[in-house]
A and B are shown apart, each in its own frame.
Chain A
């Protein structure tokens, strides 16, 4: 299926990546329906990398980093952007080769480009997670993160998941040879109504940048953080046996939603500049405590590999 022609639009790159990883057997999932800072936060990655059950998924995840907002004026920075995420457990022995196949699939000619695996250890203090791997470079540009998860939510990963993250805007700008991401064709440039990335997102970028930096009510956000934190703990405090159905239901996923929420609220507070350096560590620690609790709960569920009671 490898199509060596160069893709013509942002969406074609996404479609080709989806088709490629579908062919490699991944479940093509959809984005998680919450605000997250990176594709790793999707429970399909964080929680599913825990436990012994094999797993294989790929998805696009819209991600938000409020501090990266540039009001739509930057050629390569947005507070809302897309990541393409692949997670396979256990990591297959030829994952590097399969990955390189995906670059071919989006039109990168291996005979003309210089692809390198450059050491880059990954760590997410809020997820209590770390792994070893590389930045993958194409002609000096980072096109992906390649990580073998060693620990998530404080739990050692057994077996180990292989995780790939493609920063889609940057990758697409490279493949489509665009210097300004806003000018990048989003759909087919020959379509009746051709749309650029800027047509789709520029307005939103300006609005969110203003809200993120100057308008978001920090008192409300601080309250949201506390609420999410409390709700997460409360959910996990519930006894596993549900009186109504008589079933054993540990609610790790709803609790994890609260952890995601707390994490995003923290990012917003950070963008509002109300978190000092010392407080910063404390907030990160609080989110990590939540994700760890969720991980502890998830490994007791069926999906988390626990033997059914």
Chain B
């Protein structure tokens, strides 16, 4: 059976697109082959900067011939109907068969689809794949209309069998398929022909092209680490860079060079970022000191001087780059040592969001909130406010303008240079965390306060102007911010009531978006509102604002009074949704969280999670599962009776009306359970509370076994229904079990 070899040879394909393009080529061609009725044993795809390659092994020679029978119109139907059928089936009138069944006599056509040779199928399929290829960005060139990632130059398409290879002939926008390709652009110019994949990969290697990206990456990493090790140094691992560099070369040659002595004192992050972003160099560090001392670059060729010219050139370019970095660093240090005032001033002219004002105003809002959060996380309020004020100062620095990814990291260096305490300086870097789901959360109290304030201000701000995430769109990374708040709060089980904090900050941000000058008005009012904190903001501030501002538009204020609580509640629900997603990883069911959320307070994440964990753990035991059944039975009977009678059975269950032993035992068990549960709840030991509930399982089961709730005697019946209510009350102490599904 033949093997297929396909190569699409073009000008340089962006490194970041190569892997997916190879996968897409494999998927689209093999799917197309299978759809056309061919089968194959295996397939592989490869990419280099100048080519996408697909090899398919043991392809069937042809698709099978198939026949299909199709029923047509009734015999005697109008000619038009018959003609239509003949056209659709592609058969002639005399080929039709007449057959009778219960419904009458019908025409039948047998449609035979001849099998097609693999070559014909490929010749149809490949041009389609090329024309519809899912490049993230594609272009036209010259006078043509074909779109490809960069100009496509040649197509190699072969079917080879033991007796030789045939070119699968087709043409795409003037480019004919053939059996030739090129090797390395500089080391082996000129075209050559190939006969099979083995022949192709061997000849490519001879022409200085390593076909597999994995092989190139492996060779680069091996040579780089060996070279660094020989010099007593180590390469800073960087998988993303390795993959990118492997996509920039067909013939990787690893070279190591020196970093100019003038630059060795720049922060390691600056050296690494500059080298990686601008030059795609690996950093080589001294394992003893952690200092970056050399660079590794990957060239695309061997040279007669063993790369000496290339290293010298790269070192020179790096020096120019680092001279820029050093220039920024030196300038920044001047501003930093001067207290960073210039930067904080210039944040005033940087717009954060049109409706939410400048970065400087946002920093003020964060500082006020951080101050308020501080005592809840054992941080000093004044230090938290100071830290928040400087945490974003580096956004105005030259270094961060040049390398945005160094935000926070530079802030820490500069804060230290400004003479601030190490704890306050660390906030600049740590308040952005956690950035990803695996990123560590900050633990230092000051960083926690500012990190929470930063994220909560972001969320309340965009909620206030109604820019919430929708579907896959979340341009301001609000989901990430909410998850960050959740993870920080849950880390170490912090006790924070989010509700008032959110409401206050929503008021703040809503005010900013509506009045512009709300911030100063707020501070004035808050100062005079003796310690009533955020609750004050959410409740009375609007009336006070009206009193003080006088001629401000009453309509807007009335609207604010109405919408701020709604917006805050909506945001809290968003937190609940994110909490469910977050707890999915712990195998806590969403309905378990709903059950926990039905118990106030709903804005204390640690408490919600404690309830949910206790309930989930309980549900995972046989006792738990059984007790839930008993609870549901009690709740159902009770609900039905209440609906039927139009009254609520709540109070007055009395053991003196109990008729059976089982009833009396249940009264007793409930009493005992309640006595044990109350202190557990008080101690917020929900697991203990649930385990006391578990003791009810036996008495409840026995009760239902022995007792008919809807007794003839109305007093006894009412007493039993009231008893059922006691069961639901006691079992619902930790979470609302009626929310559980199934």
Interface: A150 (CB within 8 A): yes
Asked if B151 contacts A93 (CB within 8 A), the reply is: yes
A119 in the interface (beta carbon within 8 A) = yes
A114 and B143 within 8 A (CB): no
Partner of B186, one of A110, A158, A276: A110
Interface size on A, residues (CB 8 A): 38
Decide: B15 and A119 in contact? CB cutoff 8 A. Answer: yes
Any chain B CB within 8 A of the CB of A115?
A: yes
Q: Is A278 an interface residue (CB 8 A)?
A: yes
One of B14, B304, B349 near A277 (C-beta < 8 A): B349
> Of all chain B residues, which has the CB nearest A109?
B309
From A112, A150, A278, give the contact of B139 (CB < 8 A): A150
Which residues 102-146 of B sit at the A interface, judged by CB distance below 8 A?
137, 139-143
A115, B350: Cβ atoms closer than 8 Å: no
Q: Which of A131-139, A227-235, A246-254 contacts B (4 or more CB under 8 A)?
A: A131-139
For A160, list chain B residues within 8 Å (CB): 139-143
Q: State A150–B314 Cα separation when bound (angstroms).
A: 32
Chain A 136-163 interface residues, beta-carbon cutoff 8 Å to B: 138-141, 148, 150, 157-160, 162
In the complex, what residues of B have CB within 8 A of residue A179's CB?
Answer: 316, 319
Q: Which listed residue (B14, B143, B317) contacts A119, Cβ 8 A?
A: B14
Determine the distance from Cα of A90 to Cα of B145 in the docked complex, in whole angstroms: 12
Q: Say how far B240's CB is from chain A's closest CB, in angstroms.
A: 15
Interface residues of B in 260-280 (CB under 8 A from A): 279-280
Q: Are A112 and B142 in contact (CB under 8 A)?
A: no
Contact yes or no, A148 B141, CB < 8 A: yes
Shortest B13–chain A CB gap in Å is 8
CA distance A91 to B11 in the complex (A): 13
Instruction: Decide if A138 touches B151 in the complex (CB within 8 Å).
Output: no
- Say if the beta carbon of B360 comes within 8 Å of chain A: no
- Complex Cα–Cα for A146 and B11 (A): 12
CB neighbours (8 Å) of B280 from chain A are: 118, 140
Interchain CB contact under 8 A, B300 and A114: yes
Chain A stretch 227-278: residues in CB contact (< 8 A) with chain B: 276-278
Given contacts A114-B299, A179-B316, contact A121 B142 (CB under 8 A): no
Known: A119-B16, A139-B313, A150-B140. A132 touches B150 (CB 8 A): yes
Whether, in the assembled complex, B310 has its beta carbon less than 8 Å from a beta carbon of chain A, the answer is yes
User: Is A117 in contact with chain B by the CB < 8 A criterion?
Assistant: yes
Interchain CB contact (< 8 A) of A134 among B12, B303, B312: B12
Interface membership of A55, Cβ < 8 A: no
B320 within 8 A of A: yes
Considering only residues 297-339 of chain B, those with a C-beta below 8 Å from chain A are 297, 299-301, 303-305, 309-310, 312-314, 316-320, 323
Interfacial chain B residues near A110, Cβ < 8 Å: 186
Confirm or deny: B248 has a beta carbon within 8 angstroms of a beta carbon on chain A.
yes
Whether the pair A139, B16 counts as a contact (CB closer than 8 A) is no
A277 touching B15, Cβ below 8 Å: no
Contact check, A132 vs B139: say whether CB atoms are below 8 A apart. yes
Contact B139 A140 (CB under 8 A): no
A113 to B281, CA, bound (A): 17
Cβ contacts under 8 Å, A131 to chain B: 139
Given contacts A114-B301, A277-B350, contact A141 B143 (CB under 8 A): no
A111 within 8 A of B: yes
What's the Cα separation between A117 and B185 when bound, in Å?
Answer: 11
Judge whether B710 is part of the interface by a CB distance below 8 angstroms: no
Contact A111 B12 (CB under 8 A): no
- Of A93, A141, A174, A277, the residue contacting B142 (CB under 8 A) is A93
Q: How far is the CB of B527 from chain A (nearest CB, A)?
A: 31
Question: Which residues of B lie under 8 Å from residue A25 when comparing CB positions?
Answer: none
Q: A140-B317, A141-B313 are in contact. List 15 more A-B contacts (CB 8 A).
A: A76-B320, A90-B141, A91-B141, A111-B304, A113-B303, A114-B301, A121-B137, A132-B150, A133-B150, A139-B317, A140-B314, A141-B317, A150-B139, A276-B349, A278-B354
Query: What are some 29 contacts across the A-B interface (CB < 8 A)?
Result: A91-B141, A93-B142, A93-B151, A111-B186, A112-B304, A112-B305, A112-B309, A113-B313, A114-B301, A114-B303, A115-B186, A115-B300, A116-B12, A116-B249, A118-B280, A119-B12, A119-B15, A133-B150, A139-B312, A140-B297, A140-B313, A141-B317, A150-B140, A158-B143, A162-B141, A276-B349, A276-B351, A278-B351, A278-B354
Residues of A within 8 A of B (CB): 75-76, 90-93, 96, 110-119, 121, 131-134, 138-141, 148, 150, 157-160, 162, 174, 179, 276-278
**Across the A-B interface, the 5 shortest Cβ-Cβ residue pairs:** A139-B313, A119-B14, A117-B12, A140-B314, A159-B143
